[in-house]
Amino acid sequence: MMKHVTYVSRIKLPLSIITVAVLTGCASVSFEQNVGRVNDEVSGFAEGKLALSRTYEERTQRAQAAATLLKAPLGQKDAVQLALVNSPALQALLAQGWAESAVAAQSGRISNPVFSFERLVAGDELELGRALSFGLLDILTLPARQGIAERRIEQAQLRLTSEVVDHITRVRQTWVRAVAAKQTLNYAQQVFESAEASAELARRMQSVGNFNRLSRAREQAFYADSATRLANAQHLTNATREELIRLLGLDETQGGLLQLPERLPDLPKQALDPSVVGATATRTRLDIRLAQTALDGASRAQGLSKITSVTDIELTARRNTKIDNATGSRSNPEENQLRYNGMIIGVFELLADAKDQVSTVIAAINAEQQFWLADAALKASVIGRPTTMAIAPASAAAPTAAAPH
């Protein structure tokens, strides 16, 4: 009998070691570490940090941070920070990334062990049986499945980072469109007021015989065109503002507090160095790393021992700015304003010069908008999430009916 007990104790020891090793060797995932990695990946791109709000206190802190940002006109960097602390879409992305990582980690674990307990009574004899069962195939393939699970966790991590980058890029580009639309609206309002005054002056001068009908018709046509341009600018301003509000995740009250700058930022004085941008992109692109992890995972899943790949990427960034013509265009109306103040030219000559500047100014605003849209797209491309951006042609050319006479 003593020999039987000793035999059982010898069997229990290795079984307990195997059980502990199996249970502790499973792939695991930490959500805090995942969010920390996302913040590290986009630290230079987002200029802010993400955090999933799971408690009432955390949600209150986010609301307070959003209220602080909304107290002043919202710059592009402020818009990104506001999206990071306030956007429900980003919160949903974090929660979804957590779920995907958990599912990936689960695929690297063994199936739940089966514990069985038996109690047999035969007359005066009582027999108790206890068993803890594992699938033998699960245990044998555990190392391989853990490696695959680790690759899937890495893929989920990179997908989450990529989606965050996409959202931030949309925020940046929508902010550019909203500010450009507001800047165009302000100028369209000024043009409309000038055209309205010009049309009224032409009407009064014709009534006393100092203006012919053709000249008045030209002024009236310019006034009608200015009114149409103002209505279109107002519609575009409302549309882009609402799109920005949606991306920032603002509610109705927060949307009413949103203030935008009067104009786009000044263009940088020096362009980026293409060689530096290309080298940075080659080292840190998310799409390359995501493809590499997918390849590694497929290799492990298929049982391939070694796959060697060579990636050679060359990325060129070019950003040219030409401002000579803009300087000349600004000097012309300034000269005419001085001539009008000196009574060298009349009011209609001054208004005619203003008409000449309408298409030029709106085209300049459009060019600045395209520059900053391209800048946001370049930042996304460098980190590995290229954004398709078509260059919109200037559509603000003044019609011939509004030409000066």
| Residues contacting 320, CB < 8 A, separation 6+ | 271
In a domain, 326, yes or no: yes
Is the predicted pLDDT of residue 196 greater than 60, yes or no?
Answer: yes
In a domain, 2, yes or no: no
pLDDT value, residue 10? 38
Higher pLDDT, 386 or 163: 163
Report how far residue 96's alpha carbon sits from residue 88's, in angstroms, rounded to the nearest whole number.
12
In a domain, 10, yes or no: no
In a domain, 356, yes or no: yes
- Indicate the number of domains in the chain: 1
In a domain, 22, yes or no: no
Confidence of residue 257 (pLDDT cuts 50, 70, 90): very high
In the chain, % of residues over pLDDT 90:
26
Domain boundaries, position 357 = 31-402
Residue type at position 19: T
As a whole number of Å, the CA-based R_g of the chain is 34
- CATH number of the domain that 115 lies in? 1.20.1600
Report how far residue 52's alpha carbon sits from residue 95's, in angstroms, rounded to the nearest whole number.
7
Report how far residue 263's alpha carbon sits from residue 244's, in angstroms, rounded to the nearest whole number.
16
In a domain, 374, yes or no: yes
In a domain, 122, yes or no: yes
What DSSP string runs through 190-252? HHHHHHHHHHHHHHHHHHTTSS-HHHHHHHHHHHHHHHHHHHHHHHHHHHHHHHHHHHHT--H
pLDDT, tens digit (0-9, with 9 covering 90-100), for 324-377? 444 444 444 444 443 434 444 455 565 666 677 788 888 899 999 999 998 888
Confidence of residue 280 (pLDDT cuts 50, 70, 90): low
Q: Which of these ranges, 210-219, 273-282, 324-333, has the smallest mean pLDDT?
A: 324-333
